[in-house]
Amino acid sequence: MAVGLENRAKRAGVGLEVSGCDASPVAVAMATERAAESGSTARFFHLDVLCDDLPRDADVICSTLFLHHLDEAQAVGLLARMAAATRRMLVVQDLERSRIGYALAYAGLRVLTRSGVARNDGPISVRASFTPSEAVGLAQRAGLSARVRRCWPRRYSLTWVKP
């Protein structure tokens, strides 16, 4: 995602520094390698967003397909920490919990992959995710007045702009 975001910015003539983090050193190494292979200048680093201090030098902090791994208290805490760390804005994109989303994950992953892990984890992730209105409620509990919009396929994007 980081490399794709960087490429879109380049095509639009927008200067953008992109960084990504993960708690898994293996994921960081893979992302670094893939970025280098594609000629990207995106940098990746090890960070556990639930425990470590978040960098405070980003204009926008994004979380993609992570919120559904958290319970409500962890999600509220993370949203509050992201808001405190960003200079301008936070964006959270995640799965939307719904019957249709579950059915799409169940059927779609059986068509798109032979990976037993993906076929098992996809529907479980949808079941563990929040609805868009629940995500707004989590943001409110974190002290944020956020907006949410639905995205295809059965995902949502929650945004908050620093006043």
Kindly indicate whether the domain formed by 48-96+130-161 is annotated with CATH number 3.40.1010.10. Answer: no
Strand-strand pairing, 155-161 and 89-95: antiparallel
pTM: 0.92
- 36 neighbors 6 (Cβ within 8 angstroms): no
pLDDT value of residue 121: 95
pLDDT 10s digits, 107-153: 999 999 999 999 999 999 999 999 999 999 999 999 999 999 999 88
Three-class SS state of 144:
coil
